[in-house]
Amino acid sequence: SQELEQSPQSLIVQEGKNLTINCTSSKTLYGLYWYKQKYGEGLIFLMMLQKGGEEKSHEKITAKLDEKKQQSSLHITASQPSHAGIYLCGAGVYNQGGKLIFGQGTELSVKP
């Protein structure tokens, strides 16, 4: 079965620093989603990538999907306390339309 591994599991950075979170799949990814979850709340959609080599940016967050479609990275530039939370990568499963599988999450803390 397909699995998603996220690294690191947790991250503490100083405000203003850049950081990268990785998501690796055991199989080819069919739609890769990045979400952010604040403790005790729901998931906020950030970005979705589908094509190998695709890159998308929104404000200070950039997500990339590698050419082989097995690895994605989320990069935050000049981090702020508002970026703190749990980042989850999710992916569609081939031939199981609708179902998303998720990584374990990366907990980000930003020190002012």
Partner 1 sequence: NAGVMQNPRHLVRRRGQEARLRCSPMKGHSHVYWYRQLPEEGLKFMVYLQKENIIDESGMPKERFSAEFPKEGPSILRIQQVVRGDSAAYFCASSPPWAGGSQETQYFGPGTRLLVL
Question: Are 67 and 50 in contact, with CB atoms under 8 Å apart?
Answer: no
98 binds partner 1, rule: CB under 8 A: yes
Number of residues that bind partner 1 (CB under 8 A): 25
Least distance from partner 1 to the Cβ atom of residue 17, Å? 27
Q: Which amino acid is at 86?
A: I
Instruction: Give the nearer residue to partner 1 in terms of CB position, either 1 or 14.
Output: 1
87 binds partner 1, rule: CB under 8 A: no
7 binds partner 1, rule: CB under 8 A: no
Among 13, 22, 24, 48, binds partner 1 (CB under 8 A): 48
Q: How many CB atoms lie within 10 A of CB 43?
A: 16
Q: What residues between 15 and 44 interact with partner 1 by CB under 8 A? A: 30-31, 33, 35, 40-44
Question: d(Cα 90, Cα 25) in Å, to the nearest integer?
Answer: 10
Question: d(Cα 60, Cα 56) in Å, to the nearest integer?
Answer: 11
85 binds partner 1, rule: CB under 8 A: no
